[in-house]
Structure 1
Amino acid sequence: SSFVGVQVGYTIADILAKCVFGLTILKIARMKSHAEGMPADH
Structure 2
Amino acid sequence: MTSLTPFCNVCPVTYSRFLSENFMEYQVREFINEKYTK
**TM above 0.5, one fold?**
yes
Deviation at 1:31, TM superposition (A): 1.0
Residues in 2 aligned to 1:3 and 1:20: alpha-carbon distance in whole angstroms:
24
- Relative to its length, the structure with more helix (as a share) is 2
The structure, 1 or 2, with the larger RCO (C-alpha pairs under 8 Å, 6+ apart) is: 2
Deviation at 1:3, TM superposition (A): 7.4
Matched residues, number: 31
Q: Please, which runs of 5 or more residues in structure 1 have no aligned partner?
A: 33-42
Runs of 4+ in 1 over 2 A off after TM superposition: none
Identity over aligned pairs, percent: 6
TM-score, normalised by the number of residues in structure 2: 0.70
Instruction: Say whether residues 1:19 and 2:25 are aligned partners.
Output: yes
Please, what is the CA RMSD of the aligned residues? Answer: 2.1
Bigger Rg, which one: 1
TM-score, normalised by the number of residues in structure 1: 0.64
Q: Please, which runs of 5 or more residues in structure 2 have no aligned partner?
A: 1-7
